[in-house]
A and B are shown apart, each in its own frame.
Chain A
Amino acid sequence: KQEVTQIPAALSVPEGENLVLNCSFTDSAIYNLQWFRQDPGKGLTSLLLIQSSQREQTSGRLNASLDKSSGRSTLYIAASQPGDSATYLCAVCGYSTLTFGKGTMLLVSP
Chain B
Amino acid sequence: DAGITQSPRHKVTETGTPVTLRCHQTENHRYMYWYRQDPGHGLRLIHYSYGVKDTDKGEVSDGYSVSRSKTEDFLLTLESATSSQTSVYFCAISENGRSYQPQHFGDGTRLSIL
A98 vs B90: C-alpha distance when bound (angstroms): 15
Q: Would you call B45 and A98 a contact (CB within 8 A)?
A: yes
Task: Looking at the assembled complex, report how far the CB atom of A8 sits from the nearest CB atom of chain B, in whole angstroms.
Answer: 15
Number of residue pairs across A and B with beta carbons under 8 Å? 44
Q: Would you call B107 and A43 a contact (CB within 8 A)?
A: yes
Task: Looking at the assembled complex, report how far the CB atom of A23 sits from the nearest CB atom of chain B, in whole angstroms.
Answer: 12
Main secondary structure of the interface of A (DSSP, over half): strand
User: Which listed residue, A4, A32, A43, A45, touches B108 by the CB 8 Å rule?
Assistant: A43
**Size bracket of the B interface:** 10 to 19
Task: Looking at the assembled complex, report how far the CB atom of B86 sits from the nearest CB atom of chain A, in whole angstroms.
Answer: 16
User: Of A11-19, A61-69, A99-107, which binds chain B?
Assistant: A99-107
User: Please, which residue of chain A has its CB at the minimum distance from the CB of B41?
Assistant: A102
A102 vs B40: C-alpha distance when bound (angstroms): 7
Given A89-B42, A100-B42, decide whether A43 and B100 contact each other with a Cβ distance below 8 A.
no
Q: Would you call A98 and B101 a contact (CB within 8 A)?
A: yes
29 residue pairs of the A-B complex, CB under 8 angstroms, read A4-B42, A32-B101, A34-B103, A41-B107, A41-B108, A42-B107, A42-B108, A43-B4, A43-B90, A43-B92, A43-B104, A43-B105, A44-B43, A45-B105, A46-B103, A46-B104, A89-B42, A91-B43, A93-B101, A94-B100, A96-B99, A96-B100, A97-B100, A98-B100, A100-B43, A101-B42, A102-B41, A102-B42, A103-B42
